[in-house]
């Protein structure tokens, strides 16, 4: 049997990192939107736009042709942000061979529909196994070889096990799971939690506050995940609590950084202006809030963060709003 080939779609920080890592195991083709960037990656083994100064695997090749990227793929990993996910997938779809698994590496819901990315995959590529790769995986840390772990969740465990072998390296441990919903909800909501934690840091609160924000944020994530059909244990693992911790404490996190800047008086537009990088938590707060409302899930942190980033509430007002949470037992509290 020939070695399976992987295609990674999206040459931002995370797509480039996954592609470089997997290139140790199998032939990988990385799709970049800009032909110039694709040529640079293939020729110089570096992505100057997103990961300057970090050498990539010498065997990694890139292309700007979606047809070429999809044509030979035995697995497709989608690493474009949620706002571009469906459109890129629709363009890719005619070129993907039947039954090839498609894995989302994005963290968020689709704007407008609030669908999970694996649902978008199922709609655009019906019949293909659709799943998700997620975890506490700040791209630069993973690329530079600092030990990390992720979860690949597919509805069929045997497919997840096959993909696990393509992605894992000595320092990047990949676990398998079948709870696609729980993993996807965790990846989206942790971005909202990270904005909240950054906001708390920016307001000058302490480590106790940060721990409270993370734990209560994960409680909201868990309630929402369960209401959507996920397993509560998933939210306590790498892709829920684990990622909420990494993103809420790391200076590398764009979501945490956004929260800090808002707390220091910037608007979302001012805080993100000039950055070509994606901050998924802005869209994820609106979607998570709408999903929580629709499903009758108590989610005060998500509600307040959405009010700040999408509706003009100030961080101080949001903080005061959270002080009015009703007394309750820890397991039922908002």
Ligand X SMILES: NC(=O)C1=CN([C@@H]2O[C@H](COP(=O)(O)OP(=O)(O)OC[C@H]3O[C@@H](n4cnc5c(N)ncnc54)[C@H](OP(=O)(O)O)[C@@H]3O)[C@@H](O)[C@H]2O)C=CC1
Is 80 or 189 the residue whose CB approaches ligand X more closely?
80
Task: Pick the stretch among 8-16, 89-97, 206-214, 326-334 that binds ligand X (CB under 6 A).
Answer: 8-16
The least distance separating ligand 13P from the CB of residue 47, rounded to whole angstroms, comes to 16
Binding residue for ligand 13P, selected from 15, 81, 108, 136, defined by CB under 6 A: 136
* Window 220-259: contact mask with ligand X (x via CB under 6 A): ----------------------------------------
CB atoms closer than 10 angstroms to residue 161? 12
Give residues with Cβ within 8 angstroms of 194, minimum separation 6.
Answer: 244, 247, 248, 253, 255, 256, 259, 281
Q: Are the C-beta atoms of 184 and 104 separated by less than 8 Å?
A: yes
Among residues 31, 14, 174, which one has the least CA distance to residue 105? 14
Identify whether 190 is a catalytic site residue: yes
> By CB under 6 A, is residue 82 in contact with ligand X?
yes
Q: Are the C-beta atoms of 291 and 109 separated by less than 8 Å?
A: yes
As given in the structure block, the two tokens for residue 214 are 């993370």
Binding residue for ligand X, selected from 79, 195, 224, 262, defined by CB under 6 A: 79
Task: Pick the stretch among 23-31, 109-117, 168-176, 249-257 that binds ligand 13P (CB under 6 A).
Answer: 249-257
The least distance separating ligand 13P from the CB of residue 332, rounded to whole angstroms, comes to 29
Among residues 49, 21, 46, which one has the least CA distance to residue 33? 49
* Window 66-105: contact mask with ligand 13P (x via CB under 6 A): ----------------------------------------
Q: Are the C-beta atoms of 177 and 103 separated by less than 8 Å?
A: no
> By CB under 6 A, is residue 109 in contact with ligand X?
no
Task: Using CB under 6 A, count the residues that bind ligand X.
Answer: 26
Annotated binding site for NADPH: 13-14, 33, 50, 107, 139, 254, 278, 280
Annotated binding site for sn-glycerol 3-phosphate: 107, 135, 190, 243, 253-255
Residues interacting with ligand X, by CB under 6 A?
10-15, 33-34, 49-50, 79-82, 84, 88, 105-108, 137-139, 277-278, 280
């Amino acid at each position: 049997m020939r070695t399976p080939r992987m295609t990674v779609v999206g040459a931002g920080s995370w797509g480039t990192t996954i592609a470089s890592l997997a290139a140790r195991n199998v032939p990988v083709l990385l799709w970049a939107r800009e032909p110039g960037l694709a040529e640079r990656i293939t020729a110089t083994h570096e992505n100057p736009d997103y990961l300057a100064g970090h050498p990539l695997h010498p065997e990694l090749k890139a292309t700007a042709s979606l047809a070429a990227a999809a044509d030979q793929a035995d697995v497709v990993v989608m690493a474009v942000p949620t706002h571009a996910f469906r459109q890129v997938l629709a363009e890719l779809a005619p070129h993907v061979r039947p039954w090839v698994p498609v894995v989302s590496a994005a963290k968020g819901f689709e704007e407008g529909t609030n669908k999970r990315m694996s649902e978008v995959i199922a709609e655009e590529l019906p019949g293909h196994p659709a799943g998700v790769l997620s975890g506490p995986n700040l791209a630069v840390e993973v690329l530079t070889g600092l030990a990390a772990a992720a979860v690949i969740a597919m509805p069929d465990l045997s497919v997840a096990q096959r993909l696990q072998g393509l992605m894992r390296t000595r320092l990047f441990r990949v676990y398998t799971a079948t709870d696609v919903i729980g993993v996807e909800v965790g990846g989206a909501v942790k971005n909202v939690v990270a904005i909240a934690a950054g906001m708390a840091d920016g307001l000058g609160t302490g480590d106790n506050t940060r721990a409270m924000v993370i734990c209560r944020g994960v409680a909201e994530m868990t309630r929402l995940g369960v209401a959507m059909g996920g397993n509560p244990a998933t939210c306590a693992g790498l892709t829920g609590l684990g990622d909420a911790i990494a993103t809420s404490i790391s200076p590398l996190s764009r979501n945490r950084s956004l929260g800090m800047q808002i707390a220091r008086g910037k608007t979302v537009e001012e805080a993100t202006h000039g950055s070509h990088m994606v901050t998924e938590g802005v869209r994820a707060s609106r979607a998570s809030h709408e999903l929580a409302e629709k499903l009758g899930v108590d989610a005060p942190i998500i509600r307040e963060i959405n009010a700040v980033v999408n509706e003009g509430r100030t961080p101080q007002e949001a903080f005061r709003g959270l002080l009015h949470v009703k007394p309750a037992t820890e397991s039922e509290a908002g």
